[in-house]
């Protein structure tokens, strides 16, 4: 468990050092690392990082909530309007269930720094989110 936490902290550290310029990503618009925040109000925000990657012929990945990694279990993209639904399920360090669901829309998909904005729910808490591809 300590090793896993160390790896996650290391990953967060690496992600935080990602150059602002970002890298081009011309394949699936969702793949890559995304950072941003969510919260129930403009003043109550929590940082979030999503890493989405190919898992076979599907998009998977994980959500980083602090030092907790929550696997993304479902990704659905409506390419007609680039709306996205994400679901992530896991457990925190104390073994409590974490259920995340996000519904958003991809914008500026031609840019390396495309964005995904929408609504976020985590357990009983609900709010909005905005993440930008690094």
Contact string (CB under 8 A) for another protein, positions 13-42, x = contact: ----------xxxxxxx-x-----------
Residue indicated by tokens 């639904």: 85
Q: Which two tokens stand for residue 6?
A: 């160390």
Taking the least distance from each CB to another protein, the nearer of 91 and 113 is: 113
Write a three-state SS string for 66-113: CCEEEEEEEEEEECCCCEEEEEEEEECCCCCEEEEEEEEEEECCCCCC
Q: Is 79 in the site for another protein (CB under 8 A)?
A: yes
Task: Candidates 2, 19, 41, 57: give the one binding another protein (CB under 8 A).
Answer: 57
Minimal distance, residue 33 CB to another protein, in Å? 13
């Amino acid at each position: 468990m300590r090793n896993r936490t160390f790896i996650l902290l290391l990953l967060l550290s690496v992600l935080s050092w990602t150059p602002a310029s970002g890298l081009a990503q011309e394949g699936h618009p969702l793949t890559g690392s995304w950072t941003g925040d969510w919260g129930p109000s403009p003043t109550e925000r929590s940082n979030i990082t999503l890493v989405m990657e190919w898992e076979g012929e599907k998009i998977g990945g994980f959500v980083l909530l602090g030092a907790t990694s929550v696997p993304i279990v479902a990704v659905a993209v409506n390419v007609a309007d680039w709306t996205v639904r994400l679901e992530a399920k896991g457990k925190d360090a104390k073994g409590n269930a974490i259920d995340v669901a996000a519904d958003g829309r991809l914008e500026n998909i031609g840019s390396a720094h495309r964005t995904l904005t929408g609504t976020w729910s985590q357990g009983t808490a609900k709010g909005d989110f905005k993440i930008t591809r690094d």
